[in-house]
Structure 1
Amino acid sequence: VLAQNRILQVLGIPHGALISVIFCMMVLSFPVGAYVVFNSEIGGDITYEYPMDSLDLFLAGIGFGVPVEFELGDGFIVIWSTFLVLFTVAMFGPKKNFVNMLQSIVSEGKYQTQDNYIVVTVKWFSILVIVSGSIIAIQEFFGIFVEQPEVSN
């Protein structure tokens, strides 16, 4: 049992470091996303001031438009703020905050998934990135290359 705990502790340090790095990248994505939307010339014709005359929703495979007028930047801020609130709530709970979870991972090498939601989110995000990269690598191995769309704004 003591040897097993020691192995979990040794693996807990790089695991905690990896979770910390990905968490920091997620935190940095919020201001970088806002900067890219509002201060860069990513789109030629479509900018954050682009007017939207309806909000197209799809419910159970049926599409319908809600007649709401807003600008693209306003919609981005609403969605961005929602994700920021959800990220903050996940970071602080439900039982332990993110820092306490990292301490538990490094010192004990294990953690309970129900203690903090952001650790589970980081883990699944990492799995998603690895699986997506693997699928792209396998496709390219068989000669199927993923290219950027040629359609402009």
Structure 2
Amino acid sequence: ASGRSVVVVSSGDPGVFAMAAAVLEALHESGDAQWHNVDLEILPGVSASLATAAQAGAPLGHDFCVMSLSDNLKPWSIIEKRLDLACEADLALAFYNPISRSRPWQLGVALEIVARHRSPQTPVVLGRDIGRPGQTLRTITLGALTADQVDMRTMVLIG
């Protein structure tokens, strides 16, 4: 790659559950010392959580918690503990990677944790593919939310 420019495009903000960390880790962990000298520039974007909140007219203007429900990089027990503490702190919540074919149960468990701390009338915003053609945006209540209303491309905002 000497003398060449390479671009890695990531949706949303590359630093929020996206490609920036993976690229930095790959460069750092490479056995080839030349990769350690790569001039890397990370340009920020608009995160899915902030874009969804803005589209819904409900900006995340105060304290809030952004979490990935994927246990690919950390144990589910840590996710559960962090979620419980965020709910106890009464923070608005933004869930990335809420559900997938390989982890269909985790969103349901996460919603059970949230329900221990929040009213069934708590507003929930579901934003799918926000900023892309065919985007959808729905506002429902926590009590009406079920895991089958969400897929991997859905941003879930609670509170």
The answer, yes or no, to whether TM exceeds 0.5 is no
Pick the structure with more helix per residue.
1
Specify the TM-score bucket, using the shorter chain as the normaliser.
under 0.3
Pick the structure with more strand per residue.
2
Pair member with larger Rg:
1
